[in-house]
Structures are given as C-alpha cells and as structure tokens.
Amino acid sequence: MSISVRLSEVAAPWLDRRRILGIGLAAAAALLVLVITQPEPLVPVLVASGDLQPGQPLTADDISVRYVESSSGLVEGASLGELEDWSLRVPIVAGEPLLPSLLQPPELLIAPNVVALSLDPSHAVLGRLVAGDRVDIYRTTQGGFETEGTTERIATGVYVVEARLADDGINSGSVDLLLAVDDDLAARIVTADRLGEIDLVRVAP
C-alpha cells in the first residue's frame, strides 16, 4: 500500500498560522498608530462670561467653561464650586481665563487690609499654618516690680492670607505671615507687636 500526500495539504496549516500572525501584527500596529495620533483629552477651565470688575463676589452667571488641552496656570473645573463668593483683584474682560493669582477669598472683602508678622515658630503653632487658616491672637506683657504680667486675646478668627517658614535673610527660621485685617485690627496688632509678645492659636473653622 502506498500513501501519497499532496504538498498543499501539508503546507496549509503553516500558511494559516502565518496569515493569522500577520493579521494580528497589522491590528496591533493599527492600534498603536491610533493611540499615538489621538488627541489629548480636553480639560475644562473657567473663563469670564462678561467683563468683570474687582471686589465683586463671583456668581455662576459671571463664569463660563472652556475646554483646553492644558489647564496649567488656569483655574480648572466645570463650575465655581468652592470659589463662589471669591472676587477678583483686578478687572478682566469677557473670555479671559481665571488665574489663581487673580482671585482673593471673601474674607478679604470684609477685612481688605493685610498686615505682616514674623514670629518664632514656638509662638506661631510651630509653623504649622497655611493660607486659609484662622487664628486667635494673644498678647503677653511682662510684669514690672509691682505689677504682674498679663495675657489677653486681642483678636479672634483672623484669616491667614499667607504663611511660610523663612529660610534666608535676617528672619531665617521664623514664621512669616500675612493676615487679613481692617483698620482697627491692624492698629491693635501693630501695637501688640511693639509692646508685648504675640502668640497665635489656630482655631477650628
């Protein structure tokens, strides 16, 4: 008995495997090209819907949303959210994007002045203060020969505009603070800083 097998019957499985492999490689290449060439997803940022003046609390009607490729340096989001009632430091025109540096919290509408303090960390919550914190301010005066020293609270719930640890210059190692104040509170803090020792206590919001 003789068995004859045609060449095409032997080669067919190998050809099928090559064809499948080729299709797979082509599909992978097409997918790679698609991933590489597809555009970056757009990010929502906030822009002025009209001309806006400084010092006016922002509302939803003042803001529009624009989609951009990069939100670097801009205010990202699809709504005002926590920025509602914040205001601008300078005027901007319709279509201009909001920048974090242009915005100020509502506390600065109530207390528009800013006073600077530089304190040893032991008198400023060990430096564990950040912008947005609120502090009570205490003044301690040293007693004299026939008088006792006193400690009094001169301000409550003062808004911290900025706080940082100084790392150079004459005040290196101190806590540098900017506090939102009105005229009366500014005078009291400056007087307390000259006549006694100031301590800050961070309070719950």
Distance CA 202, CA 75 (A): 28
Model-wide pTM > 0.85: no
pLDDT of residue 133: 93
Instruction: Provide the H-helix boundaries in the chain.
Output: 7-37, 107-110, 183-195
Q: Which residues make beta-bridge pairs with 43?
A: 68
- Count of domains in the chain? 2
pLDDT above 70 for 149: yes
Q: What is the CATH number of the domain that holds 83?
A: 3.90.1210.10
Q: Which tokens sit at 150?
A: 């006193």
The pLDDT confidence band at residue 1, using thresholds 50, 70 and 90, is: very low
113: closest CA among 176, 51, 186?
186
pLDDT of residue 42: 85
As a dihedral over the C-alpha atoms of residue 78, residue 80, residue 83, residue 89, rounded to 10 degrees, the angle is: 100
State whether 148 and 70 are in the same domain: no
Beta carbons of 87 and 103 less than 8 angstroms apart: yes
pLDDT of residue 82: 86
Q: What is the mean pLDDT of residues 167-184?
A: 83
State whether 117 and 95 are in the same domain: no
State whether 172 and 112 are in the same domain: yes
Q: What is the pLDDT of residues 87-99, one digit of tens each?
A: 998 999 999 999 9
Distance CA 46, CA 42 (A): 13
Q: What is the pLDDT of residues 40-62, one digit of tens each?
A: 688 899 999 999 998 889 999 99
For residue 137, is it within any domain?
A: yes
What's the whole-number average pLDDT of the chain? Answer: 83
Residue 178: its H or E element: strand 175-181
Q: Which residues make beta-bridge pairs with 164?
A: 176
State whether 199 and 111 are in the same domain: yes
- Domain-terminating residue out of 80, 104, 128: 104
Distance CA 178, CA 148 (A): 31
For residue 111, is it within any domain?
A: yes
pLDDT above 80 for 151: yes
Per the model's pLDDT, the better-predicted residue between 14 and 145 turns out to be: 145
Burial 20-49 (b: 16+ CB within 10 A, else e): eeeeeeeeeeeeeeeeeeeeeeebebbbbe
State whether 117 and 55 are in the same domain: no
State whether 75 and 64 are in the same domain: yes
State whether 159 and 135 are in the same domain: yes
Distance CA 99, CA 75 (A): 6
Distance CA 78, CA 65 (A): 6
- Domain-terminating residue out of 70, 86, 104: 104
pLDDT of residue 147: 67
Tell me which of 25-29, 49-53, 83-87, 185-189 is least confident: 25-29
Q: Which long-range contacts (CB under 8 A, 24 or more apart) does 53-56 make?
A: 53/88, 53/91, 54/87, 54/88, 54/89, 54/90, 54/91, 55/87, 55/88, 55/109, 56/87, 56/88
For residue 38, is it within any domain?
A: no
CA dihedral over 158, 164, 170, 173, signed as positive or negative: positive
For residue 192, is it within any domain?
A: yes
State whether 98 and 56 are in the same domain: yes
What residue numbers bound the domain in which 192 lies?
107-203
